[in-house]
């Protein structure tokens, strides 16, 4: 456990916060501990087909912007996708090939919607509050017609996100908060771009809504710090970071290391691709 002793009078150490870390703790404190605190990290797995697909598509979209503008042509997309393709988690070669063709179709359909030069591609944005040091990597940051920033997040899963998903997403609000500070520009619009259906779910966030999400993130960060301190003070780590078993355990990377998770049937690595 990494918690350092706190000397009297020292300000509280900021909690390192990313959307993944905050989400992991909020979903299941034990998963947070396995992923970010326990060393060596407990065995993870299996490699998930839907994660491979998502990573491949995200990286191909990032690499599109590394192609010189004059050479950005739909004909380069198969090459980009081949270069970034992650092969793990598929049932067999025929399934992998079918999913590859599916991903290529998504990318080719999405190309006309790509801006020529976004303000940021997989851009890290960061912000500090009195409780946490937040950082995250936004898939894309665009300039809207009014000059304000637009946060774009690519989605490749089966669920089609809607406006409410965009509005309620803690990650998008935190990206908007941090990007606004980094670029010193207003950032209210957030968008979920669902590649499989070509739909865009957009929301205009108010400052109050962003502030509420920052407060929620700070509350989670405070809980993380309290749990780490409890362990440093002698509390049983299993008690400080309790399990939160549920259907999500079937998809958890640490199910095989987790006493509660082992009671839940695991998913097949390719189950998220159907």
Residues that bind ligand SF4 (CB under 6 A): 28, 30-31, 34, 243-245, 248-249, 252, 254-255, 258, 260-261
Closest residue to ligand SF4, Cβ-based? 261
CB of 215 to ligand SF4, least distance (A): 25
Give the whole-angstrom CA distance, residue 201 versus residue 190. 8
Give the whole-angstrom CA distance, residue 172 versus residue 174. 5
Q: Between residues 180 and 261, which has the closer beta carbon with respect to ligand SF4? A: 261
Q: Between residues 114 and 244, which has the closer beta carbon with respect to ligand SF4? A: 244
User: 132-143 and 120-128: which strand pairing?
Assistant: antiparallel
Q: Between residues 19 and 196, which has the closer beta carbon with respect to ligand SF4? A: 19
Contact 148, 189 (CB under 8 A): yes
> Which residues have a Cβ under 8 Å from the Cβ of 183 and sit 6 or more positions away?
119, 141, 149
Q: Between residues 87 and 262, which has the closer beta carbon with respect to ligand SF4? A: 262
Give the whole-angstrom CA distance, residue 195 versus residue 160. 9
- 3-state helix/strand/coil string of 147-178: CCEEEEEEECCCCCCCHHHHHHCHHHHHHHHH
CB of 110 to ligand SF4, least distance (A): 32
CB of 166 to ligand SF4, least distance (A): 25
CB of 252 to ligand SF4, least distance (A): 3
Distance from the Cα of residue 88 to its chain's centroid: 19
CB of 170 to ligand SF4, least distance (A): 18
Contact 32, 24 (CB under 8 A): yes
Contact 250, 267 (CB under 8 A): yes
CB of 133 to ligand SF4, least distance (A): 25
Q: Between residues 27 and 122, which has the closer beta carbon with respect to ligand SF4? A: 27
Q: Between residues 5 and 265, which has the closer beta carbon with respect to ligand SF4? A: 265
């Amino acid at each position: 456990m990494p918690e350092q002793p706190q000397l009297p009078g020292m300000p509280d150490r900021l909690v390192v916060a990313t959307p993944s870390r905050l989400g992991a703790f909020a979903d299941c404190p034990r998963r947070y501990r396995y992923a970010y605190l326990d060393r060596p990290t407990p065995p993870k797995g299996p490699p998930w087909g839907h994660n491979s697909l998502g990573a491949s598509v995200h990286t191909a979209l990032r690499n599109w912007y590394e192609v010189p503008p004059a050479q950005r042509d739909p004909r380069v997309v198969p090459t980009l996708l081949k270069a970034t393709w992650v092969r793990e988690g598929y049932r067999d070669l025929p399934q992998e090939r079918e999913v590859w063709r599916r991903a290529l179709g998504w990318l080719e359909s999405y190309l006309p919607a790509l801006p020529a030069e976004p303000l940021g591609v997989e851009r890290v944005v960061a912000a500090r509050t009195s409780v946490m040091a937040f950082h995250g990597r936004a898939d894309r940051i665009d300039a809207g017609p009014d000059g304000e920033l637009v946060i774009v997040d690519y989605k490749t899963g089966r669920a089609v996100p809607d406006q409410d998903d965009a509005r309620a997403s803690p990650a998008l609000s935190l990206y908007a908060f941090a990007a606004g500070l980094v670029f010193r520009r207003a950032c209210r619009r957030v968008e979920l771009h669902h590649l499989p259906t070509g739909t865009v779910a957009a929301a205009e966030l108010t400052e109050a809504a962003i502030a509420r999400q920052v407060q929620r993130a700070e509350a989670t960060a405070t809980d993380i710090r309290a749990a780490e301190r409890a362990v440093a003070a002698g509390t049983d780590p299993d008690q400080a970071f309790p399990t939160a078993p549920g259907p999500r355990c079937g998809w958890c990377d640490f199910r095989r290391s987790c006493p509660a998770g082992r009671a839940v049937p695991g998913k097949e690595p390719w189950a998220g691709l159907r």
